[in-house]
Each structure stands twice: as C-alpha cells, then as structure tokens.
Amino acid sequence: MTENYSIPNGFKFAAIGAAIKTQDRDDIAIIYSEIPCVSAGVFTRNVVKSPSVIYNMERIKNDKAYGFVVNSGNANACTGQQGMNDTIVMSQTVKDGLNITDGEIFVCSTGVIGVPLPMDRIIPAIKRGVAKIGENSFMDTAKAIMTTDTFPKIQSKTVEIECKTVTISGITKGSGMISPNMATTLSFIITDAVIEKSALDKALRESVEQSFNKITVDGDMSTNDSVMILANGVCGNNVINTDTPQYKKFKKVLDELTQELAYMIVKDGEGATKTICIEINGAETQDGAERLARKVADSMLVRTAVYGRDPNWGRIMCALGGAGVSFDPKKIDIYINGAQIVANGVGIGKEKEASKALEANEIILKVELKEGKYNTKIYTCDLTEDYIKINAHYTT
Amino acid sequence: MTENYSIPNGFKFAAIGAAIKTQDRDDIAIIYSEIPCVSAGVFTRNVVKSPSVIYNMERIKNDKAYGFVVNSGNANACTGQQGMNDTIVMSQTVKDGLNITDGEIFVCSTGVIGVPLPMDRIIPAIKRGVAKIGENSFMDTAKAIMTTDTFPKIQSKTVEIECKTVTISGITKGSGMISPNMATTLSFIITDAVIEKSALDKALRESVEQSFNKITVDGDMSTNDSVMILANGVCGNNVINTDTPQYKKFKKVLDELTQELAYMIVKDGEGATKTICIEINGAETQDGAERLARKVADSMLVRTAVYGRDPNWGRIMCALGGAGVSFDPKKIDIYINGAQIVANGVGIGKEKEASKALEANEIILKVELKEGKYNTKIYTCDLTEDYIKINAHYTT
C-alpha cells in the first residue's frame, strides 16, 4: 500500500456510507472530474452481466464523461428490469447534483448477486456525497469499494510528457472470483493526460491484457468486472494518439500501474498467505504457454501444496499434463524460487531445499519446457482454509 | 458400501502390505483369473502418464489377460526409465509366481508422484501375495488400493443372460484429482460373462462416458487414471457381441455399476460433507449442457456456498455465464432440491426455503435454460476446510 501518492489534477472524490451490507463503513464512492473526460473500459465477458455493466458498455461510446458512482455490498446483478432502472437513477442522481448535462457518470456495483439495491438508502447517500464532493481522498474511495478485501488498493505513477508531469492513479478491489479470462475486478484509473479516446482505449485494452488478465484467484469470472479509465486533459500536453512517441511513454507507465494494482489483488486473495507466480518458459506457442500457466495457477492441488510448504512437484507436472497442450514431459525442468527440483521430467531429490524455498511469501514456480520460444507469467495465491471460511457464509 | 456382494466365478484375490507409504495396512492388491480373460481399458488423457499407464495401454492390445497387480501409496509417475523397469518387474513377478506365459498381468499404481517405488519391499510383498492368492476377498483388494479414501468402494451386479447369471463386480478408489475430462481414478471391474473383446471395449468406453466422466472433485486430471475390465467367460453364456440383444442387457448393468462406483468417489470427495448433482436442462446443444454443468461443478464458489448452506444462487448464475456458452440469462430457472429459487433470471425471495433445502446431504442444483432440448447431470461434492487440510500436507 502506497502511503504517499499523487493524484491527477481536476478530480474530486466523495465516500459515503449507505449501510448497503453493513453499518459503520463507507460503501459508496463518487469520482468526479470538473472537466469532461475521454473514457475507455474493459468489461466482463460473462454472459450474465450486471445492468450497470450493460449501461457502461453502451454509454462509454459517448465522447464525454465526468466520473463514476460505485457501490460495494451489492452487485446489482440478476435483478431484472429493476436493476437497470436503479443503475440509471444512480447515475442521474449524481448528474443532477453536479449539474452535468452533456456527459456521462458511469455506474459500478460489486457484492452479492441477486438482491435488489436498497435504493431508499443509496439515493440519499449519493446526494450527501455530491454535497461534499472534494472532501474525501482517492484513498477514501479505494476503501469504499472494498468487499472481502483486507486492505485498500491504490497506486499512482507520474511520467514526464513534453516537460509536463502527467499523473496516472488507480484504485482496485479484489479479491475472490478473479479469473484471467476477462477484465477482472473493479478498477478505476484516472489521469490528467491529454489523449485521444481511441488511443486511451487501445492502451487500456493492451494494458489489461498483461495485468488484470494475468491473475487468477479462483477461476470464476464475475458478472460485474470492469476496468475503466478517465482522462481529463488538465495536464495540457499535446494530444497523445497512437502514432506519437508519447503514447509509448504513457502506455509503459499505465502498464506498470495496472500490473501493480493487479498484483495487489492476488496478494489480497481470499484467505491467501502467499502469492504465486507461475512462469512458463520455452513453450511452442504463446497460447500454449498461457494455457499451461493458467492450468497450474488454477490447480487447487498446486495451490494447497504451496500453502502447506509441500514440495509436491508432481502436482505441477500433473496440472501441466492436463492443460490440453502437447509437450514432452521428459524435457521439463522445474524450479521453486530458483531452486531446481525437477530435471528432465524427473525429481532430483531436492525436496528439502524446495520445502525451505516455500517458506517465502512470494513463490515463483518456474517451468522450462524446452519446446519453443514462448514465455508467460500468471499470478495467483495459495489456497487455504480461510478461503473456504470466507466463502462458505457470504450472503447470510 | 455394500456388505453382501456376489463375485464372478474364477477370480481370486490377494491383498498384502509392503509399507509403501505407511505401515499396518495392505497397499498391494492382486486380482487374478485362472482362466484367461478378454480385457478393455480407458486411460487418462494427461500428457504426463505413469509408466504403468503406458505399459497397460500397449499390453491391452493382447488377446489374453489374467489380472492386475496394483499398489497404492506411490503413483510411480515422473520416475523416468526406472519407473518403466519397475512396472515390468511388478508384472513379471506375478506372472512368474502364477506360471503365466501366454497373457498379461496389468500394473496400476496410485499415490504420490515423482518418488521411485520401493521395489525392495514391493517384490517380496508381491511374492507373498502370489503365494496366498485366493485367501483374500475382493473387498480386501478394494481396501488395499485406497489412498485418501475414507471407505473402500465396491459394487456388484448380476444379470440373467440366457438363463445364466452373469456377475459384474467392481472396485474403485478416489477421491481427489478427479475431473470429468478423462477416465478418472483407478477402477477394476471383473465379470464372468463371455463377451467379444471389441464389444467389451465399446461397452466400457460408453459406460465410462456416463459415469466416471460425469464426476469432478477438483478439476485436476491424474497421471494414472485407469478404468479396466476383465471378462473370463466362466459363466458360459453364448458370446456377447455388439449385435446381440444380450449386449444391451450387459451394457445396462455395467452402466449401473460404473455410475454407482463413480458416485461413491464423489461421496468420498476429499473433505466432502455433501454430494452435489448439477442438473442442466434445456440447453441448445449437448456440448453446451456439458460445459455449463462442468463450469458450475468446478466452481469453488458454488461448492463452498453449498458447504455453508448458503443459498447464494448468484454464484450459480455467475458460473453459468462464465462457461463460454451463450444463453439468455433472463430465461433461467434454478431449483435447489426441488425448491425454486430463481425464476426467469431473477431471485424470488425463497432464500430461507433454499437454505433449509441445503441441509440435506445430497444436493441437486437444477438449472432450466429453456433454450433447447439437451440435458446433462454432473456430480461433485462440497468444498470444505478439510479438503485444504488433506491436500496441504500430502507428500511430507
């Protein structure tokens, strides 16, 4: 968690409690730019989408946007036409309060599925938030969007573009129902860069691909996952488009930001005690590398073994073999935090060293396939009794 | 667990302790028919296969087989050339002891991966087993092949074929690393039917498809999974081939047997307190039905919710939506043990009734898609803290 972080100019924040799921915490966040922004978003590929996702996917086509209103504690998914009505009302309440007539306020919800939003509490809370906009910090909004997260997730970066300091800041929340086949989680990124909408869209899509799409906590894909970005242009740099050299600089920093935010989600995986990086090297194809990495990352047996500091590398071999990718098991080397444990598909009797290596909090399981030149890394966390405890009693 | 079961004539059994992983239990089983058998087998699709699987896949082409030698406590996988040598020696030791010169003894191993077999203890144990062949029961072999199983799994059926009573009996073991994309587990079926090899092969393949391939415990696929059948023909019925009406009778009983054995595996899923049947009705295609059912069955969030008696049906919707199958969420009905909880994609406020229904030990989650005419059922179990405990410390 960063304690000191810069925030792009022109953005204001509010965090308010509406007692959606529990009392005594903020569960609504408003992020607002006085200056209209260009926007981009990557959304869940789940067939079952929250009305808020459907709303945002449609409204993101607009040229102008002013911000987000987000609630935790209730995903407003599988709530029928009422859910869509509620989404529209949430957005409109912010727009009315801030006199926005020419651009969008996006709506995001996270929490339990299938329960109608308590609009009788949400609308007054949003109004209170609008009234005190600017009195809260970005960190306060990071706290308000938490569900089972154990810490707020915020990160910030700056980059010099034409002697101007561009700031990119983001918040995100985890920590269960995270799978690499989609956008993953709720994440809100804001920047004061001047950038074309198409360039912002391309940058975000590519950035999500190598960050939020490289993490997995339980292989499930949420109905609400969204990563969205707003750029208000307050910085005053010359406009960035995909042809300018500044695009690369901006993209590089955005990539770092999204990677660090995504890593925080894994670090805060439900019940997790360790992060795990699955590193696949030397695959015959990129797709093969990804499938192998994800199969290992999603293996409950691998993740419980890491939790138990059990150097049971046979489970890694087994997961690789079940990925639907062909390779020669007799060529495989496996390393745990640099300590080799398998050479050419066979154990080399280094279980004791591997067990010692598994005492670390950050575990790298590296697999050398020696089949080709394609590599990848996927991040996950260990699987513990606490994951079960957290998820066995979530709604009730 | 059946207490009284008939066993096909002509088969003899031995169970012996070789202290492979632990003392004070039998961990080697020998199943032997004095009369040569026809054989069939379905094997793991994992790229990483135990040498014993490779051995059996090759040797099953032979016309004659006499039985199995099986060890638990060690999978003899990822053990290189030594692993294959050990497999051959295990088979040959039984053949030598029983004077078998014209047919096969198959070898199966189950347990930890990557550790060479303790052949110095296994070979003398096999010799002791051969010397006392016939002194043990089929139930004793069911006990000897157990790993993390909490009860032995055995089932038996009879069927009248031309006024002769054909017996089909089977044993199996679970209970982790079970996924529906392959043969699943070790299972040995014996019968005294007279049946052509090609008919036996077809019957077994189809039977596995609708039994062992319909269960999932943790989505992982083992390096050793095998379902094998031997038919010694002692019953003396006219030979069954796929064109005879007797084939259907035989197949029907075999299907019942394999289904009941497979269900025992789910019932004994590691740490499980409940079985779960995912019933998908009205899918547009059979493949779609299977994918939807498997996605729900593999969802850790659904499985933990069932464990916690938490009627969190949103997780079922969410898992369905992430299966990569298109459908209209607004048409979905969901029932928990007959109690409807979702109508047309929206909750109907019956959480209390659903929570009550979840107190049962056998849970049926029924999904009506109303898209087409294809149905399926997949079986799994709930996910508990004990699954984590069992698997966090398995090798050490």
pLDDT tens digits along A172-193: 998 665 554 433 489 999 999 9
pLDDT in the model for residue A176: 61
CB proximity under 8 Å: B 195-254 to A: 218-223
Give me the percent of chain B exceeding a pLDDT of 90.
Answer: 80
Residue B169 corresponds to which amino acid?
S
CB proximity under 8 Å: A 252-291 to B: none
pLDDT in the model for residue A148: 82
CATH at B388: 3.10.20.340
Establish if B96 touches chain A: CB-CB under 8 angstroms. Answer: no
Whether residues B319 and B226 share a domain: the answer is: no
Establish if A176 touches chain B: CB-CB under 8 angstroms. Answer: yes
Alpha-carbon span A126 to A189, nearest angstrom: 21
8 Å CB contact of B347 and A387: no
pLDDT in the model for residue B4: 73
Whether residues A369 and A387 share a domain: the answer is: yes
CA separation (Å) from B206 to A190, B147, B202, B203, B276?
Answer: 56, 27, 6, 5, 23
**Which among B227, B250, B267 is the end of a domain?**
B267
Whether residues A105 and A229 share a domain: the answer is: yes
Q: Are B175 and B269 in contact (CB under 8 A)?
A: yes
Establish if A48 touches chain B: CB-CB under 8 angstroms. Answer: yes
8 Å CB contact of B347 and A114: yes
Q: Are A100 and A68 in contact (CB under 8 A)?
A: no
**Mean pLDDT over each residue of chain B, to the nearest integer:** 92
Residue A190 corresponds to which amino acid?
I
Whether residues B41 and B173 share a domain: the answer is: yes
Whether residues A263 and A279 share a domain: the answer is: no
Name the closest residue on chain A to residue B301, using Cα atoms: A391
Nearest C-alpha neighbor of A313 from the set A351, A275, A344: A351
Whether residues B257 and B312 share a domain: the answer is: no
Alpha-carbon span B254 to B237, nearest angstrom: 17
pLDDT band at B50 (very low <50, low <70, confident <90, very high): very high
In sequence order, what are the residues at sequence separation of 6 or more whose Cβ sits closer than 8 angstroms to the Cβ of residue A356? A339
Q: Are B183 and B53 in contact (CB under 8 A)?
A: no
Residues of A in contact with B327 (CB under 8 A): 47
Say how many domains are in chain A: 2
8 Å CB contact of B387 and A327: no
8 Å CB contact of B78 and A301: no
Residue A384 lies in a domain: yes
Q: What is the span of the domain harbouring residue B307?
A: 275-392
Neighbouring CB atoms inside 10 A of A389's CB total 16
CA distance B175 to chain A (A): 12
Whether residues A185 and A240 share a domain: the answer is: yes
Q: Are A105 and A66 in contact (CB under 8 A)?
A: yes
Residue A1 lies in a domain: no
How many A-B residue pairs are in contact by the CB < 8 A criterion?
Answer: 231
Whether residues A213 and A64 share a domain: the answer is: yes
CA distance B260 to chain A (A): 26
In sequence order, what are the residues at sequence separation of 6 or more whose Cβ sits closer than 8 angstroms to the Cβ of residue A67? A11, A30, A31, A32, A33, A37, A94, A105, A106, A230
Answer yes or no: A184 catalytic. yes
Nearest C-alpha neighbor of A212 from the set A225, A231, A195, A197: A225
Whether residues B310 and B332 share a domain: the answer is: yes
**What average pLDDT does this structure show over B242-259?**
96
Please say whether the dihedral angle defined by the alpha carbons of residues B170, B172, B178 and B183, taken in this order, is positive or negative. negative
Among A110, A284, A315, pick the best mutation site for testing chain B contact (most B Cβ within 10 A): A315
**Which among B246, B267, B288 is the end of a domain?**
B267
Residue A291 lies in a domain: yes
Cα-Cα-Cα-Cα dihedral of A357, A363, A369, A374, to 10°? -150
Residue A359 corresponds to which amino acid?
E
8 Å CB contact of A317 and B391: no
Please say whether the dihedral angle defined by the alpha carbons of residues B381, B384, B388 and B394, taken in this order, is positive or negative. negative
pLDDT in the model for residue B2: 44
Name the closest residue on chain B to residue A295, using Cα atoms: B220
pLDDT band at B395 (very low <50, low <70, confident <90, very high): low
* Of B311, B318, B388, Cβ closest to residue A384: B388
| Positions in chain A whose pLDDT score sits under 50 | 1-2, 180-184, 396
Q: Are A281 and A368 in contact (CB under 8 A)?
A: yes
Whether residues B254 and B354 share a domain: the answer is: no
pLDDT in the model for residue B210: 93
Name the closest residue on chain B to residue A303, using Cα atoms: B392
Alpha-carbon span B54 to B66, nearest angstrom: 18
CA separation (Å) from B12 to A189, A226, B136, B168?
Answer: 70, 62, 8, 14
Name the closest residue on chain A to residue B112, using Cα atoms: A314
pLDDT in the model for residue A307: 94
Among A78, A184, A185, pick the best mutation site for testing chain B contact (most B Cβ within 10 A): A78
Residue B191 corresponds to which amino acid?
T
E strand or H helix that includes residue B166: strand B164-173
Identified catalytic residue from A93, A184, A216, A384 = A184
pTM of the model: 0.88
Burial class (CB in 10 A: 0-12, 13-18, 19+), B348: middle
Nearest C-alpha neighbor of B301 from the set B359, B380, B377, B361: B380
pLDDT in the model for residue A394: 61
CA distance B346 to chain A (A): 5
Whether residues B305 and B177 share a domain: the answer is: no
Name the closest residue on chain A to residue B44, using Cα atoms: A322
Name the closest residue on chain B to residue A316, using Cα atoms: B113
Q: Are A17 and A118 in contact (CB under 8 A)?
A: no
Q: Are B190 and B31 in contact (CB under 8 A)?
A: yes
Residue B1 lies in a domain: no
* Of B223, B300, B384, Cβ closest to residue A218: B300
CA distance A75 to chain B (A): 10
CA distance A176 to chain B (A): 9
Neighbouring CB atoms inside 10 A of A338's CB total 9
What stretches of chain A show up as alpha helix (H) in DSSP? 51-59, 80-97, 119-131, 138-144, 197-209, 245-267, 286-297, 300-307, 314-321, 351-357, 385-392
Identified catalytic residue from B44, B167, B184, B258 = B184
pLDDT in the model for residue B216: 82
Residue A376 lies in a domain: yes
**Which among A240, A267, A294 is the end of a domain?**
A267
Residues of B in contact with A342 (CB under 8 A): 78, 114
Among B175, B352, B396, pick the best mutation site for testing chain A contact (most A Cβ within 10 A): B396
Cis peptide bond prior to A50, omega within 30° of 0: no
CA distance A242 to chain B (A): 32
B239 alpha-carbon distance from chain centroid: 27
Residue A3 lies in a domain: no
8 Å CB contact of A49 and B312: no
Q: Are B191 and B231 in contact (CB under 8 A)?
A: yes
Structure tokens at A230: 């707003």
Residue B2 lies in a domain: no
Question: Over the stretch B148-194, which tens digit does the pLDDT of each residue have?
Answer: 888 999 999 999 998 899 999 999 998 665 554 433 489 999 999 99
Residue B5 lies in a domain: no
Give me the percent of chain B exceeding a pLDDT of 70.
Answer: 95
Where residue A202 falls (left for φ over 0; alpha for ψ -120 to 50; beta otherwise) is: alpha
Say if residue B396's pLDDT is above 90.
no
CATH at B180: 3.60.70.12
SS3 A41: strand
pLDDT in the model for residue A1: 40
Whether residues B79 and B106 share a domain: the answer is: yes
- Residue B268 dihedral angles phi and psi, to the nearest 5°: -105, 20
CA separation (Å) from B240 to B166, B191, B199?
Answer: 12, 13, 7
Strand order in the sheet with A275-283: A346-347, A339-343, A333-336, A362-368, A275-283, A374-381
Alpha-carbon span B111 to A9, nearest angstrom: 60
